[in-house]
Amino acid sequence: MTRYAVALGSNQGDRVRHLRMAVDEIGRLGSLLAVSGLYETAPVGGPDQGPYLNAVVVVEASLAPQEMLGRLQAIESDHGRERTVRWGPRTLDLDIVATDGDPVDTEELQIPHPRAAGRRFVLEPLSDVWPDAPVADGMTGRDARELVGDQEVDLLLPTWVEEVGRGRVWVGAQLALLVAIALGLAYDGSLPGIGLEPLRLGGGLVLILGGALVLAAARSLGRGLTIMPQPVPGGVLVESGVYARARHPMYGGVVLGMLGVSLLLASPVGASLSIVLFAFFWAKSVYEERRLRIAYPWYTAYRSRVRRRMIPYLL
């Protein structure tokens, strides 16, 4: 049995789906030992193209290196890989980067991969799963990674092949917070009297602003509207309307709405919990944006253009 480290990359189509299916298909070639975290990197060389998702898997198989290469190339072909442009965009790229067997140096295959030791997008995920893998003569993946620290890679998810129930946990916590705010309002809130005190008047204005922001966000999202932090399957990145001014205006609108009601009812508990809700939505948006970057390759460019996270012109 031989241990292989296989680097995976994709920057076309449903990138994460290609990689998840490839992990499953590589696992059928032997025993899947480990799967690295999921990274996003800018393309190196070649024509103008979108960012890549990268990972490394370690598999133990009885296949000889040349046979393993043939099986990996067959998987690439099944995913529509075309070799028309060198270093061009691809649906799926699979490379053997290291092995615990003898080195290989043929016209078709070189192990260790001749460029692996100089590429952080290979070395970073490789160090997750096999840091002592030989990537050059007398050099391990861990050693080589120390030499390429100036290259940029971004860890999106430490665990990504199967995500079960995490989105539901976020939604459950969100609903619990909203219920807590409602109970707080019932506990110490009071209905407005005849007079319009400045606090209550301000609360009413904030409530109206929050409601308008929620409605504008829902209208822009359309069928893409979901309470889950993962984007809906087959959805598109919305960059128009209120989303041209803030990346998560729905969250900002809900926070403003809860804060407005709390001020309108003069509820200190409700106002305090609304601030907690703001912090929660901020954390949820960070979690959500990593999924959005996976679903939409150009999300990073959108985020650089739209600086406000939750409230247009403010936050």
Above 70 in pLDDT, residue 86?
A: no
- pLDDT tens figures, 69-83: 999 999 998 887 555
pLDDT tens for 190-209 read: 876 655 588 888 999 999 99
Domain edge (last residue) among 132, 157, 182? 157
For residues 297 and 201, membership in a common domain is answered with: yes
Q: How many structural domains does the chain have?
A: 2
Distances (CA, A) of 265 to 256, 273, 310: 14, 14, 24
- 47 and 7 belong to one structural domain: yes
Lowest mean pLDDT among 54-58, 104-108, 175-179, 253-257: 104-108
| Residue in 7, 25, 29, 6 with CA at minimum distance from that of residue 17 | 25
Q: What is the mean pLDDT of the chain?
A: 89
Per-residue pLDDT at 132 exceeds 70? yes
CATH of the domain at 7: 3.30.70.560
Quickly state the pLDDT bin for 50 (edges 50, 70, 90): confident
Residue from 265, 280, 278, 267 nearest 314 by CA? 278
Q: Are strands 38-41 and 31-35 parallel, antiparallel or unpaired?
A: unpaired
Q: Kindly state the helix (H) or strand (E) to which residue 58 belongs, with its residue range.
A: strand 52-61
Comparing 34-43, 50-59, 144-153, 193-202, the range with the smallest average pLDDT is 193-202
Rounded distance, CA 241 to CA 259, Å? 24
pLDDT at 305: 95
CA distance 4 to 138: 18
Q: For residues 32 and 115, state if they share a domain.
A: yes
CATH number of the domain within which 180 lies: 1.20.120.1630
Residue 40 lies in a domain: yes
CA distance 218 to 225: 6
Q: For the whole model, what pTM was predicted?
A: 0.75
* CA distance readout (Å), 89 to 51, 53, 202: 9, 12, 53
How much is the average pLDDT of 161-181?
Answer: 87
Residues with catalytic roles: 81, 90, 93, 95
Residue 126 scores a pLDDT above 70:
yes
Confidence of residue 291 (pLDDT cuts 50, 70, 90): confident
For residue 191, give its domain range.
166-305
Q: Does 41 share its domain with 121?
A: yes
Q: What DSSP assignment string belongs to 225-248? A: --SSSSPPTT-----SGGGGT-S-
Coil, helix or strand at residue 145 = helix
Measured at the CA of 210, the angle between CA 289 and CA 170, to 5 degrees, comes to: 35
